[in-house]
Structure 1
């Protein structure tokens, strides 16, 4: 099976791709997996390390052909607020819970989660259900869809505590330059 060994970032390649792969947010974070493009191109994604693929990236096959990465639509919640102050407060609460969040200027997008949807509404946010590609921010430590380094740290937060953190939640220890 032909392999894709390299990712060309969006904006660094041109021309018509040989094929396209439609991937949701989770499927865009890979190292090694067999894939089939929309036109039937079968290949093995075989990268040296796992990385987050972005919509518009191209996977370069061994024979030089390119397969474009397309962000598949997903069931999401779009959040708006009466003003930017309220939206920033909601964004802070989402970030405090380490939730992947897409920032769209005057609105936010997150994955469907009824507990979080209730919290957003209590904070004054208005929600709408949408089906769109999900491309959350990467954050300071590489969470979400960002090329390169992943922080490799995940918290399984439940809804048990008021602040969204479980009682046995460990604390991050960061160096002096991490919060500039």
Structure 2
């Protein structure tokens, strides 16, 4: 059992003890018990409001173990538009509904929702069902690290 109380800067060369794959929602939990696929138990006791990102490194309370966080693939919908303006319109409508959304220049990605899927399809976007790591925007007041 490992209890993680401290986040360290991402470091691709760090000698990690294990990798903990978490969904986007799980990466927002600052106090939680997780079990790895190998049966290792990891407790998080991080400062309230901590949001973990793919590649983050956590240190256990004994300072002897490093745990790398990875974004776990999960079911998502990816919206693709023929024009940048159409993608911007879709981002506006998703934002108006406070939907966690991954935003890039070429697509919007969000968690499966039949109402949102229908709305964006009616706007003219192509919607794909995928299973990928989901990394939504943190919002204007979110902390990146």
TM-score normalized by the length of structure 2: 0.89
Alignment of 1:155-174 (within 5 A): none
2:61 is aligned to 62
1:7 aligns with 2:10: no
- Written as runs of structure 1 = structure 2, the 5 A alignment for 1:28-107 is 28-64=27-63, 65-107=65-107
Match of 1:123?
123
RMSD after superposition = 1.8
- Supply the distance in 1 between the matched residues of 2:47 and 2:81 (Cα, whole angstroms): 42
Alpha-carbon distance in 2 for matches of 1:43, 1:122: 44
Aligned residues: 144
Deviation at 1:31, TM superposition (A): 1.9
Q: Which structure shows the higher helix fraction?
A: 2
Superposed CA deviations along residues 137-165 of structure 1, whole A, max 9, x for unmatched, are 111132xxx446xxxxxxxxxxxxxxxxx
Q: Which has the larger radius of gyration?
A: 1
Q: Normalising by the residue count of structure 1, what TM-score does the alignment of the two structures yield?
A: 0.73
Distance 1:126 1:2, change over 3 A: closer
Q: Judge conservation of contact 1:19–1:39 (CA < 8 Å) in 2.
A: no
Q: Aligned equivalents of 2:59 and 2:18: distance in 1?
A: 11
Give the Cα separation in 1 of the matches to 2:48 and 2:144.
11
Q: Which has the higher contact order (CA 8 A, sep 6+)?
A: 2
Q: What runs of 5+ residues in structure 2 fail to find an aligned partner? A: none
Instruction: Report the Cα distance in structure 1 between the residues aligned to 2:144 and 2:120, rounded to whole angstroms.
Output: 29
**C-alpha displacement of 1:50:** 3.3
Matched-pair contact (CA < 8 Å) for 1:24–1:73 = yes
Q: CA 1:38 to 1:147, structure 2 compared with 1: closer, same or farther past 3 Å?
A: farther
Tell me the distance in 1 between the aligned counterparts of 2:10 and 2:105.
Answer: 21
